Amino acid sequence: MGDIHAVGSKSRAPDKPGTSRWKIGLGLFTALVIGVVAGRYALRDQSGRQLARLQVQYEQAVAQGQTDLAAAQAKADLLGGQLAVEKSTRSGLEATLKKTQDNLAQTRDQLAFYDQLLPVGPKGTISVRAFEVRLQGAALSYRVLLMRNAPGDTPFSGVMQFVAKGLQRGKVVQIKLEPAQADAANAPAGKRSAAEDEFALKFDEFARSQGLLALPDGFVPQAVTLNVLEGTALRASNSANVEAAD
């Protein structure tokens, strides 16, 4: 009997060596392509995260820079304001100083002019340059300007004396006036009276004095004479009519 073969059954022929190598190469290539694509996506994702981080750092740096700039501008504005105030204050002080110096120079010129008007006399001569008396309530207010021609080596020391002429009980009388509220009678023994302290003089070139003179009850003053005494010697004298109160 011959060999019996099943109908329809075929045996698979083995692959050729070239075909197997081609399939292997195709698989490797496909894997390589997939790896490259995956690597690109991975790099792109990493670059995106790095870019986002850099963007945040940039924005933070810009915000900090703006804050620092605003602080620096505020400080500059403050310093500018202080400088403007100091400059204004300095300008005001300089203007005041200049005005004061001008007034001082004018006063010196006036004093020099008045000094030329003084009559020529012995060294140290005293003169009454201004004297006025005015009613003020129950007292007399007075103002005096004394000058000394060619000041001497030592200051002039003396005292003022005020003698008023007026009416009292219908009669013309002369009364020596004392400072208002002075109580010479009650002055302790050995001490200067209020009049001596109030009317004392000591100056080199000029002296100003003002104050109040007490009036006795019932006395109506008409004129007052100012005497400048050095010890008991009369050095200057001047009279003024009593002016009415303002």
- Tens of pLDDT, residues 149-205: 766 678 899 999 999 999 999 999 999 999 997 544 455 544 455 566 789 999 988
φ/ψ (deg, to 5) at 20 = -60, -45
CA distance 5 to 46: 65
pLDDT score recorded for residue 4: 45
pLDDT tens figures, 222-242: 999 999 999 999 999 999 999
Task: Please give the DSSP secondary-structure letter assigned to residue 4.
Answer: P
In this prediction, residue 31 has a pLDDT band, given cuts at 50, 70 and 90, of confident
pLDDT at 203: 92
Instruction: Report the relative pairing of strands 206-214 and 171-177 from DSSP bridges.
Output: unpaired
**Burial class for 156, CB neighbours closer than 10 Å (0-12, 13-18, 19+):** buried
Q: Which position has the higher pLDDT, 37 or 138?
A: 138
Query: Residue 188 has what pLDDT?
Result: 52
- Residue 67, pLDDT score: 87
Convert the pLDDT of each residue in 75-123 to its tens digit: 888 888 888 888 888 888 888 888 888 888 887 766 665 655 555 455 6
Q: Where are the beta strands (DSSP E) in 67-205?
A: 125-136, 139-149, 156-168, 171-177, 200-203
What are 208's two structure tokens?
Answer: 């100003």
Q: What is the pLDDT of residue 10?
A: 47
